[in-house]
Amino acid sequence: MIDSLHLKQNRLACLSKQKKLGQEIDCKNSANIADTLEHMPVHSILKNDNRFIKNHLENQLDNERPEIRFYKSRLQARATFFQTHFPGKLSYAVKANSAECVLKTLNEFGLSHYDVASLVEMRQVHSINPDAILHYHNPIRSRTEITAAYQLYNCRRFVVDSLSEFQKLHDTLSGCDGFSPPNIQLAVRFAMPKHEDSVQDFSKKFGADLHEAEAILKLARTMDYVLGITFHVGSQCLSPEAYEKHITACHKISSRAEVELSFINVGGGFPALYQSTEYEDIKSNEDQLINFFHTIRQVKQRFFNTGVKFECEPGRALIAPAFSLLTTIKTVREENRELYLNDGIYGGLMEAYQFKDLTPIYRFIGEASENPMISCDSRCAEDEWTIYGPTCDPCDVLPLPMRLPSFIHEGDKIEFLGVGAYSLATSTRFNGYGDLKLIECE
């Protein structure tokens, strides 16, 4: 026989927790809960038991989600650094991370220029700042997208990398109300042969060769467009000389085309911190970036007068330091030195799978260990572990082993640092995983 008083006392705590979760109950305080239980038949309490269990489990499962942590002050500091040291205008490549908290922080910082690749990104930016200046620097667009960018989002900067796409752009804009070429900034994008200084090459998919870029500039000049040149040296570029070569090519192209440039956009490609870099902290990475900016300033002064404005549009280098990913170890297979995390390549770690050189720096946090909490990075580790994600795909594994302590327990944490770029942006819901909990920190 059920002890009704004992059962009611056990349910008192459950009802209190339920109230905190915002569930609808007839009680407004503990006294009311006790009074309700006093008059509630035992069978009614049993009937509601599944609901209490469900709420409790949902709360536990929510706490077990991988956490993507945003540090607002780090983004503010990084934006200040770029704005202070880069010899020109700062723009942000929204594709790297379009989270609302990111766009709001940059807007509060005072950033007014944004590199956008789609109408969705335009809408995201304009929802925060309707007066933001948009650079539509994706050369692949439909005519409808061109029209919508111009008419709905007041976009007046477009990029082209072929004569056919320039003609399509001109024909489409000509049908828009109020169109006038002198009010449109045209960025001609060119590409140079692939080099080995960047992790990811952009030259194959985008960019005219130097001769076609020259031809586009000559034609656009006859139509009175405001002219500029842009390029992308490749993602996670480690060589300042790559920028020097591309800016030198800008001078060659514009001289042959006999046009006066209004701007040169050097794109992104600036490096962030990863395991593959020789730089160990943000300060040393800033020293690295200053070398890039110094090279850009020198070649700018060599070839271009003060009337040519320089721009950069970093994504990775600006946003990467502002996020970390906190994962939990779900399963430990000590005999094989294998760990299974609650996030993987279908969540916040896609880039690590695609490019080994973009494997994040990490630290181990021994929360579940019987020992006092310890925190260490790969330099104080003992063993190499293979790291799997939580999905059923055997490809859901990091390409490089991680050096970690030998005394690892289920429930311990691994925090991946500097994952602000292309983590949230590429996260999927494969197998129902990849649902990152965004935590905003100061």
When mean pLDDT is compared across 18-22, 44-48, 270-274, the lowest value belongs to: 18-22
Indicate the DSSP class of residue 377. E
- Which residues, 6+ apart, have CB-to-CB distance to 370 below 8 Å? 409
Query: To which residue do tokens 């996030």 refer?
Result: 343
Average pLDDT, the chain: 88
- Output the pLDDT for position 13: 47
- Output the pLDDT for position 244: 97
- Which residues, 6+ apart, have CB-to-CB distance to 58 below 8 Å? none
Name the domain count of the chain: 2
- Residue 395 and residue 346: Cα distance in Å, rounded? 10
pLDDT band at 4 (very low <50, low <70, confident <90, very high): very low
Is residue 94 scored above 90 in pLDDT? yes
Contact indicator for 389, 341 with CB cutoff of 8 Å: yes
Same domain, 183 and 219: yes
Is residue 325 scored above 60 in pLDDT? yes
Among 319, 342, 361, which residue terminates a domain? 319
What is the mean predicted confidence (pLDDT) over 125-139? 98
Indicate the DSSP class of residue 424. T
CATH number at residue 352: 2.40.37.10
Between CA 175 and CA 186, with CA 181 as vertex, the angle to 5 degrees is 105
Same domain, 293 and 348: no
Query: To which residue do tokens 């991370």 refer?
Result: 97
- Residue 205 and residue 191: Cα distance in Å, rounded? 9
Furthest C-alpha separation in the chain: 97
Nearest to 115 by CA among 131, 136, 144, 129: 136
Contact indicator for 437, 67 with CB cutoff of 8 Å: yes
Same domain, 232 and 305: yes
Same domain, 315 and 330: no
Kindly state whether residue 54 falls inside one of the protein's structural domains. no
CA 83 to chain centroid: 19
pLDDT band at 45 (very low <50, low <70, confident <90, very high): low
Q: 412: domain range? A: 321-441
Same domain, 132 and 253: yes
Same domain, 315 and 325: no
Residues 428/431/433/434 CA torsion (nearest 10 deg): -10
pLDDT band at 38 (very low <50, low <70, confident <90, very high): low
Q: What's the pLDDT tens digit per position in 58-82?
A: 888 888 899 999 999 999 999 999 9
What is the mean predicted confidence (pLDDT) over 189-215? 92
Is residue 370 scored above 90 in pLDDT? no
Kindly state whether residue 28 falls inside one of the protein's structural domains. no
Same domain, 396 and 301: no
Contact indicator for 367, 326 with CB cutoff of 8 Å: no
Indicate the DSSP class of residue 382. -
- Output the pLDDT for position 59: 85
Among 319, 339, 371, which residue terminates a domain? 319
In this predicted model, which residue has the larger pLDDT, 375 or 178?
178
Same domain, 277 and 325: no
Contact indicator for 249, 213 with CB cutoff of 8 Å: no
Contact indicator for 96, 426 with CB cutoff of 8 Å: no
- Residue 316 and residue 284: Cα distance in Å, rounded? 17
Q: What are the φ and ψ backbone dihedral angles of 159, each rounded to 5 degrees?
A: -110, 150
Same domain, 227 and 143: yes
Cα Rg of the chain, angstroms: 27
DSSP-assigned states of every residue in 320-338: GGGEEEEEEEEEEEGGGTE
Q: What percent of the chain has pLDDT over 90?
A: 75
Same domain, 274 and 288: yes
What is the mean predicted confidence (pLDDT) over 249-258? 97
Same domain, 92 and 212: yes
Among 319, 334, 365, which residue terminates a domain? 319
Kindly state whether residue 45 falls inside one of the protein's structural domains. no
pTM (2 d.p.)? 0.85
Beta strands, E only, 59-126: 67-71, 89-90, 92-93, 113-116
Q: Is 303 left (phi over 0), alpha (psi -120 to 50) or beta?
A: alpha
Is residue 24 scored above 80 in pLDDT? no
Kindly state whether residue 9 falls inside one of the protein's structural domains. no
Kindly state whether residue 105 falls inside one of the protein's structural domains. yes
Q: How far apart are the first and last CA of the chain?
A: 55
- Residue 219 and residue 232: Cα distance in Å, rounded? 23
CATH number at residue 132: 3.20.20.10
DSSP-assigned states of every residue in 304-324: --TTSEEEE--SHHHHGGGEE
Indicate the DSSP class of residue 75. H
Kindly state whether residue 13 falls inside one of the protein's structural domains. no
Same domain, 306 and 390: no
Kindly state whether residue 36 falls inside one of the protein's structural domains. no
